[in-house]
Amino acid sequence: MNFRIYAALAVGLFSAVSANAAGDAAKGSTIANQVCLACHGADGNSPIPMYPKLAGQHPEYIAKQLKEFKSGDRKNAVMAGMVITLTPEDMDNLGAYYGSQAAKGGTAKSNGKGSVGEKIYKAGILGLGVPACASCHGPAGAGVPVQFPRLAGQHADYTVAQLQTFRSGERANDAAKMMRMIASKLTDQDMAAVADYIQGLR
């Protein structure tokens, strides 16, 4: 499978998401500081490894996740409770707010330059048909709006947890099964290595 062609196809699938009106960051800030800060931090730089950083994430991706927590297309008990009262407009506003916050970088524990994690991220795993993460998420993890989320600096614990739920199929909100197919070919060790590398990307 040629993943560049694949990625191009995915752009079409996501056109409905990109058609969203831009949100109002100031309105998003009010909700974020009342409801979300306990877990995600006031500016979206969550200090707790199990809660994802949202700062600098693409607004459309954030709004998509919130809509899917509400519809049940992405299943998570905690977040399902958080989105009950949010309207689609609130979700766009929250996306605009977090997307406009500066992302604070992290550091890799052991997967820096020359590591297994770097190799998987930049080149994939050839024999297994695992594509380079960089081919969709960008060489520095900045992602490609609107379809491919930013990964740079994300907590490794959260990244591993997501890769595991893609592998088990518990998370199934990835268009064209892109992440489920990839995660199904990764071992726990691969996931830990690439997640550690991602944590250090800036």
Binding residues (CB under 6 A) for ligand HEC: these are: 3, 6-7, 10, 31, 35-36, 38-40, 51-52, 54, 62, 64-66, 76, 78-79, 82, 94, 120, 130-131, 133, 135-137, 147-149, 151, 159, 161-163, 173-175, 178-179, 182, 194
Cβ 66 to ligand HEC shortest distance, Å? 6
Cβ 20 to ligand HEC shortest distance, Å? 14
Cβ 5 to ligand HEC shortest distance, Å? 10
Alpha carbons 5 and 1: distance in angstroms, whole number: 8
Q: Which residues contact 80 (CB under 8 A, 6 or more apart)?
A: 69, 70, 72
The token pair at 141 is 């993890």
**Of 70, 59, 152, 148, the residue nearest 103 (C-alpha):** 152
Is 173 in contact with 17 (CB distance < 8 Å)?
Answer: no
Which residue's CB is nearer to ligand HEC, number 108 or number 194? 194
**Of 77, 80, 78, 99, the residue nearest 32 (C-alpha):** 99
Which residue's CB is nearer to ligand HEC, number 8 or number 107? 8
Which residue's CB is nearer to ligand HEC, number 21 or number 23? 23
